[in-house]
């Protein structure tokens, strides 16, 4: 990682909003890969999350860093956009029991920039809402965001509702967030688990390219 991107990560961790904005603009002016800039910011958010978990940072710092991240993504959006038609439809939302939307906003920006049609249901979304919207618009991918370990278990209910509606084999389910763990694939019956937005985008792109029916979860 270049010195500029290291400085960008540090500026986000230290809640230096002006520093973050200036460094993002400078990186763009120097023709840095926008995805590398996003990765640097995501790394900074990971560090903020670590400090929050250790008690060094509090809710106020978590909220502030999220707002700074949103500002940075707004600047990056025009540089992330791709040409061509829609790559597919995806339903996105933070699962019921969780009001955090930073991770969701990051992946939404990346998905829209990659050419996907994103239907953002917001936060605290009941499982049935994901399924209803997927059926309504014909989406074949559902993305669930969850920061809290107490809420991520509700993603299993989304899979259950898909089965009840008879469309589980037509819809992939990916869960992302700080609480995401690989064992949840088997436990909750979802298709993928990530805690990295860039990796999540790669997985979703792969599914869109394959255009194959989703597997039946365990």
Among 43, 65, 145, 151, the active-site one is: 151
Among 98, 120, 191, 196, the active-site one is: 98
151 catalytic residue (yes or no): yes
How far is the C-alpha of 177 from the C-alpha of 42, rounded, in Å?
12
Among 100, 113, 145, 196, the active-site one is: 100
User: Is residue 142 packed enough to be buried (19+ CB in 10 Å), middle (13-18) or exposed (0-12)?
Assistant: buried
98 catalytic residue (yes or no): yes
The tokens for 77 are 């959006």
How far is the C-alpha of 158 from the C-alpha of 144, rounded, in Å?
9
Query: Tokens 């790394």, residue?
Result: 43
Q: Give the phi and the psi of residue 141 in degrees, each rounded to 5.
A: -140, 135
100 catalytic residue (yes or no): yes
Q: What count of other Cβ atoms lies within 10 Å of the Cβ of residue 27?
A: 22
Q: Which residues are catalytic?
A: 98, 100, 151
């Amino acid at each position: 990682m270049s010195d500029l991107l290291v400085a960008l990560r540090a500026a986000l961790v230290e809640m230096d909003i002006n520093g973050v904005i200036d460094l993002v603009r400078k990186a763009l002016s120097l023709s840095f890969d926008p995805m590398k800039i996003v990765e640097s910011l995501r790394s900074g958010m990971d560090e903020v999350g670590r400090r929050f978990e250790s008690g060094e940072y509090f809710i106020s710092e978590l909220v502030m860093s999220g707002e700074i991240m949103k500002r940075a993504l707004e600047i990056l959006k025009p540089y992330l956009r791709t040409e061509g038609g829609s790559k597919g439809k995806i339903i996105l939302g933070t699962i019921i029991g969780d009001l955090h939307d930073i991770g969701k906003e990051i992946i939404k920006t990346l998905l829209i920039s990659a050419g996907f049609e994103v239907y953002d249901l917001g936060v605290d979304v009941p499982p049935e809402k994901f399924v209803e919207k997927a059926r309504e618009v014909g989406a074949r991918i559902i993305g669930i965001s969850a920061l809290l370990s107490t809420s991520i278990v509700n993603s299993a209910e989304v899979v259950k509702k898909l089965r009840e509606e008879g469309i589980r084999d037509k819809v992939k389910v990916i869960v992302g967030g700080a609480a995401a763990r690989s064992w949840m694939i088997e436990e909750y019956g979802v298709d993928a688990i990530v805690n990295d937005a860039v990796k999540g985008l790669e997985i979703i792109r792969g599914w869109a390219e394959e255009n194959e029916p989703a597997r039946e979860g365990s």
